Amino acid sequence: MTLRPQPRFPEPDTEPFWEATKKKDLVYQTCDNADCTDRVIFYPRAHCDTCGTLETTWNTSKGEGVVYTYSVVMQSRHPAFKDLGPYAVAYVDLDEGFRMMTNIVNVDNPITDIKIGMRVKVVWQEQGDGEIALPMFEPA
């Protein structure tokens, strides 16, 4: 299988996220500013998207949540995706309070086996020679 498109490094805003994936840790940030302490920040970035502070803390998610919404891709001409057959692209609401785009995997039929609101947990798909791993989700 062709590798999925990869991030290009150095990438200072998201590199800590990708470094954590090597250990199969799903990480997110929270704001350290007293005016919005513990506000969850995701996708990874250099600043809090509410107050603009650069003071953030990295946290590790349990990797559990619910499917917010999803769509099933029936075919793709991109070499990395063309042999997948139907696959699900979803937004998952993590229990820690952030939403991420991902894939729902390890279902027999993505058209009938995925439901909005179903519980899911993170699983990892390694890319390359362990350079990164992609967080995906399967039924919990």
Q: Domain coordinates of the chain in residue numbers?
A: 8-60, 62-140
CB-based contact 138:127 (threshold 8 Å):
no
The confidence band for 83, taking pLDDT boundaries of 50, 70 and 90, is confident
62-140 CATH, one of 3.40.50.300, 2.40.50.840, 3.30.750.24, 3.50.50.60: 2.40.50.840
CB-based contact 5:11 (threshold 8 Å):
no
Indicate whether this model's pTM tops 0.85.
yes
The pLDDT tens digits of the residues spanning 88-124 come to: 999 999 999 999 999 999 999 999 999 999 999 999 9
Measured CA to CA, the distance from residue 76 to residue 41 in angstroms comes to: 31
User: Rounded mean pLDDT of 22-50?
Assistant: 93
The b/e string for 24-43 (b: 16+ C-beta within 10 A; e otherwise) is ebbbbbbbbbeeeeebbbbe
pLDDT over 90, % of the chain: 75
Which residue has tokens 């994936």?
21
